[in-house]
Amino acid sequence: MSVALSRRLIHVVALLVFLVPGSFALAEVVNVYSARHYDVDQMLYDAFTEETGIEVQVLEGSSDQLVERIRREGMASPADVLVTVDAGRLWRAEDAGILQPVDSEFLNDRIPAYLRHPEGLWFGLSQRVRVIYYSPERFDPSLVSSYEDLTRPELEGRICIRSSNNIYNQSLMASIIEAHGAEAAEEWARGVVANMARSPEGGDTDQIRAVAAGECDVAVGNQYYYLRLVNSEDPADRAVAQQVSLIIPNQEGRGVHVNVGGAGVVAGAPNRENAVRFLEFLASDQAQELFANETYEFPVVDGVEKHPTLEALGEMKFDELGMDVLGRTNPEAVRVFDRAGWR
């Protein structure tokens, strides 16, 4: 048998061991089910393996698909770690009963309490903030200093924003419910709907492009989508970014809305110790710098060097509402959107 063929067979056997529920666990491996799809993720996996000798095997999919798969696989699941984005999705995994508590002194010391589950079911590992974009040529930024200002009559027919099905918007709504109550949050949602320039469509980058194209004057999106355009190798992307400015909202009040990319150890993890080591590595300075410099996400650890364009956003006040609260409020946020007619 040739060396090349032998290597292929080893690879196939390893893959089958990972993908087939109930199969035995490989030594020195951590099996990651990931709903993150960023280039930096492979860099993180490689760095972890180099530091620990533990191989990272990854199965990618949407968050809902992976949660359901782990739920179906039960205690026979090969999954050790679930990685996903947004507090609402972390809550869905928690609610499905597929995560187990982790008591790590390292994680508890490194990650602020509001960014992790109070019982250690999951940990926020990168932060993103939801900002307001505007056209500096067509819009007076003094009109808006908060999310609440998006209902002002001067903004009628001028706002682009994603649909209510979007988990990022659902978490923003959850934060508004927690700040003002469901009734006031519904009134806010109706005001934003009345000010929309078009029916909700597309992703966060599409909202920024719409402002640049003159389809609307104001939009809402996470900061890293804008920074991707700023740092793109494509001149057309950079040209879009040059036509848009941003507002960091609610700096005089509760702070800008924060969400996380995070992870938890799966309830039946066959490689639990390796899974915990993997989470601890993601909270290390090395990993946190990769988040901040490759995906333009805010680190969860203080003092980590950030990409210059992320640093250029300046100091800002974060809303330190617990991510677990955002998650628990997600079902109410969906109901509020539905009542307000936000599609």
**Beta-carbon contacts of residue 236 (< 8 Å; ≥ 6 apart):** none
Q: Which of 213, 209, 220, 215 is nearest to 197 (CA)?
A: 215
Whether the Cβ atoms of residue 83 and residue 34 lie closer than 8 Å to each other: yes
Structure tokens at 177: 């419910």
- 224 marked as binding residue: yes
Q: How far apart are CA 18 and CA 76, in angstroms?
A: 11
**Burial zone of 127 (CB within 10 Å; 0-12 exposed, 13-18 middle, 19+ buried):** buried
Q: How far apart are CA 189 and CA 192, in angstroms?
A: 5
What's phi and psi for 201, nearest 5 deg? -160, 155
- β-strand pairing of 99-100 with 258-266: antiparallel
Give the count of alpha carbons within 13 A of 302, CB side only. Answer: 4
- 11 marked as binding residue: no
Q: Which of 1, 274, 299, 337 is nearest to 124 (CA)?
A: 299
Structure tokens at 343: 């599609």
Q: Whats the size of the chain, residue-wise?
A: 343
Residue 250 backbone class (left: φ over 0; alpha: ψ -120 to 50; beta: rest): left
Residue 18 DSSP SS3: helix
Whether the Cβ atoms of residue 19 and residue 59 lie closer than 8 Å to each other: yes
Q: How far apart are CA 9 and CA 286, in angstroms?
A: 34
Q: Which of 150, 30, 135, 111 is nearest to 283 (CA)?
A: 111
Residues belonging to the binding site are 37, 224-225
Question: Which residues contribute to the annotated binding site for Fe cation?
Answer: 37, 224-225
